[in-house]
Amino acid sequence: MTRPAPRTAQRGGARLAAAATALGSVLLLTAPGPTSAAEEPPPAPELAHWTAQTADSRLLAPGVEYFRYKETAPIAQRPYPRELNVVRVDPAKGALRIESTFGRKAGTGETVREMTAALPGTPLAAINGGYFMNEGTPDTTDAVPETVQTFGATVRDGEVMGASCLLNRNRYGVVLQYGVPYVAKLETDISVTSSLTEEQGRPYGEAAQRVDDVNRNPGGALGCPRDADDDAGGTGPYQDAYGKELTAYTDPTEFVLFNSSYRTTTPRPDVNKNIAADDQAGYEVVLDATTGAILDGGPGRGGRTVGKGQYVLQAIGDHQTDWLRRQQQMKATLTVTQKLWDHRFEADGIKREIPLDETVDVVDGGSLLMRDGVDRYGSSGPTGYAHGSCGRLYDENGRSKEVTAATPQARTDFCRDSRTAVGVDDRGRTLLVTLSGPRDQYHPDGGFLAEVTEPLKALGVVDALNQDGGGSSTMLLGDGARPVNGLTDGPAPGVERRVYDSLYVAAGGSPVVG
């Protein structure tokens, strides 16, 4: 078993805590010792419905295996075979670490290739990360890139980058700590507390305010509500500039925090033309992240760059704006507190805090695919593959009922989107997986969630989470070979989409004895 090396290039050289303090729910089994770099990878595991491509499968580094599979028998509606790409990481066989990155800026999207190119060293493999939304309705003549927001709890180096969804609407996330993925239902708790006492005339008698989110446009949470005040009724679904249907959960009374990782200017009013709640001028202050002193700010908001060691706090809503204005007038200091809670064992009444330090990354995710070895999708649904609402859209052979000669493209492609998943197997190995196929305008290129869990179960995975998919699904190998993104063997070359973040495996660390 290995302990990841300190991230000196990005983490200020701080040492990681002992591996024994890693997340207690994860157990890694040690193996007899590191393998030689020249060792050949074992034969690709046999998987039903998939044929191993032995010429492509290889050992990327000691403890990092890559397996590529092709669909054995494509259905009639899919003339091109899909492919399954698997990177399996064994921490007992090499000095390895698994981390996440958003690239150069947390406020705008980048391709996985661009993100990994910004790292100090070339990773062995990388996949796209969590779900995100483009925030605005961009003007193509505007030189300022469109901002993005993550939805679901997102953390980088112990700093919250995005708030969790409302708990009863929660999505799962992957905690990356000490090189070990841990799948959990997560809750963030972010607040700002004033130094003013009651005797000093604390505004409205309120010492603290809940911060609704981090690094996003105030007034419009996209994808999921962040608290009970977020309302989807006022706006409803709309299409963004790329034709993607979004739901805005609007709230005209919010505090939103921006950190120095945002690296683009803070949002001005009316970023999103579909959301009226973000039209307000509001209020904005600059904080010293260490002392909480208010360094600058005033009425109106937007257009500021968050400096290193600083926060910017924006407020919209009369009450919120007045509270923040009076803090500045009275020269208060404002202390930002960020907490992360694990609800994996909430059925047992356990709510566990995960202390936020620079060893902690979190990538938000979607559907929980597997838990404790149980396939959550398996053979559910009338077709044996389709699950829930998708079941009624397909026949017993998995063919879309909506496809006809006149409508060759099914409106149900979302059920069979390209997929990206991350999991941990029964030997403590991490698996990074993509399932996708050649894209064209007529044929489904991905799979039902059950078509992901089936091979995962065969590979011995016990916990797995579905990451962002569709056009976001990407896998890159860093060994100088052809990149793999599931779009390379089709009628058209693949185009990588800009995404919010990525997960990668890289060399580094030292053996843990014991």
Which candidate, 139, 157, 84, 150, places its Cα nearest to that of 421?
Answer: 84
Predicted local confidence at residue 36, as pLDDT = 45
Distance between CA atoms of 179 and 445, rounded to whole angstroms? Answer: 32
- When pLDDT is cut at 50, 70 and 90, the band that residue 410 belongs to is low
Distance between CA atoms of 246 and 94, rounded to whole angstroms? Answer: 43
HSE, CB side, 13 Å, CA atoms: give it for residue 264.
19
Task: Name, of 61-70, 408-417, 490-499, the range with top average pLDDT.
Answer: 61-70
- Given a cut of 90, whether residue 386 has pLDDT beyond it is no
Cβ(499)–Cβ(418) below 8 Å? no
- Given a cut of 90, whether residue 328 has pLDDT beyond it is yes
pTM (2 d.p.): 0.87
What 3-state class would DSSP assign to 261?
coil
Phi/psi of residue 452, nearest 5 degrees: -95, -45
Predicted local confidence at residue 379, as pLDDT = 66
- When pLDDT is cut at 50, 70 and 90, the band that residue 50 belongs to is very high
Looking up tokens 């193509």, which residue turns up? 140
DSSP state of 266: P
- Given a cut of 70, whether residue 145 has pLDDT beyond it is no
Predicted local confidence at residue 493, as pLDDT = 53
pLDDT, average across residues 271-296: 95
User: Does 399 or 510 have the greater pLDDT score?
Assistant: 399
pLDDT in tens, 171-194: 899 999 987 899 999 999 999 999
The rounded percent of the chain whose pLDDT value lies above 70 is: 76
pLDDT in tens, 100-137: 999 999 999 999 999 999 999 999 999 999 999 888 76
Q: Is 373 left (phi over 0), alpha (psi -120 to 50) or beta?
A: left
Predicted local confidence at residue 31, as pLDDT = 29
CB atoms within 10 A of CB 348: 7
Cβ(85)–Cβ(483) below 8 Å? no
**Which whole-number Å values give the CA distances from 225 to 116, 209, 236, 266, in the listed order?**
31, 18, 13, 21
Cβ(46)–Cβ(454) below 8 Å? no
Cβ(402)–Cβ(415) below 8 Å? no
CB crowding 379-391: b at 16 or more within 10 Å, else e: ebbebbbbbeebb
pLDDT, average across residues 418-441: 88
Q: By mean pLDDT, which of 75-84, 97-106, 342-351, 483-492 is the weakest?
A: 483-492
